């Protein structure tokens, strides 16, 4: 079945970077978008950006531009999200999620990765 398996929880210090992985299985990896969405404790969903496998294009929310990168490894069907210059406000659960395409919905979500930023 379609599955997105994310890497484990991370604890980082302010100013550091974190790289979260998302391994896809059960579908043709290079056809679908991969979104990254985060959720701070007790808060709502916040879209960070997406990786479009067509041409390896990315689109980031303005809030994260300059601080986030999204890459993929086709050989392992894995997408990575790296967030730099971490602040305490970046403490959140980070989800990867499969998207059907522009204008469309998200149909499969990873289990989430908790990133804690604390000195």
**What own/partner pairs with CB < 8 Å and gap ≥ 24 does 53-61 have?**
53/29
Q: Where are the strands (E) in 1-119, listed by range? A: 3-6, 10-12, 18-25, 33-39, 46-52, 57-60, 68-73, 78-83, 92-99, 106-109, 113-117
Task: Kindly state whether residue 27 participates in binding another protein, applying the rule CB under 8 A.
Answer: no
Among 8, 13, 54, 105, indicate the residue that binds another protein (CB under 8 A).
Answer: 105
Residue closer to another protein (CB basis): 42 or 75: 42
Q: From the CB of 58, what's the least distance to another protein, in Å? A: 11
Which of 59, 77, 91, 116 is in the footprint of another protein by CB under 8 A?
59
- 50 is a contact residue toward another protein (CB under 8 A): yes
Span from 13-21, 71-79, 80-88, 99-107 in contact with another protein (CB under 8 A):
99-107
Task: Look at residue 11 and give its three-state secondary structure.
Answer: strand
């Amino acid at each position: 079945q379609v599955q997105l398996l994310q890497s484990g929880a991370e604890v980082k210090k302010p100013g550091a970077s974190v790289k979260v992985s998302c391994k896809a299985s059960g579908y043709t990896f290079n056809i679908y978008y991969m979104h990254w969405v985060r959720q701070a404790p007790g808060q709502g969903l916040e879209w960070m950006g997406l990786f479009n496998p067509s041409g390896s294009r990315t689109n980031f929310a303005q809030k994260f531009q300059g601080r986030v990168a999204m890459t993929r490894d086709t050989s392992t069907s894995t997408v990575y999200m790296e967030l730099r210059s971490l602040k305490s406000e970046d403490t959140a659960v980070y989800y990867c999620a499969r998207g059907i395409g522009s204008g469309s919905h998200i149909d499969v979500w990873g289990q989430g990765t908790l990133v804690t930023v604390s000195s």
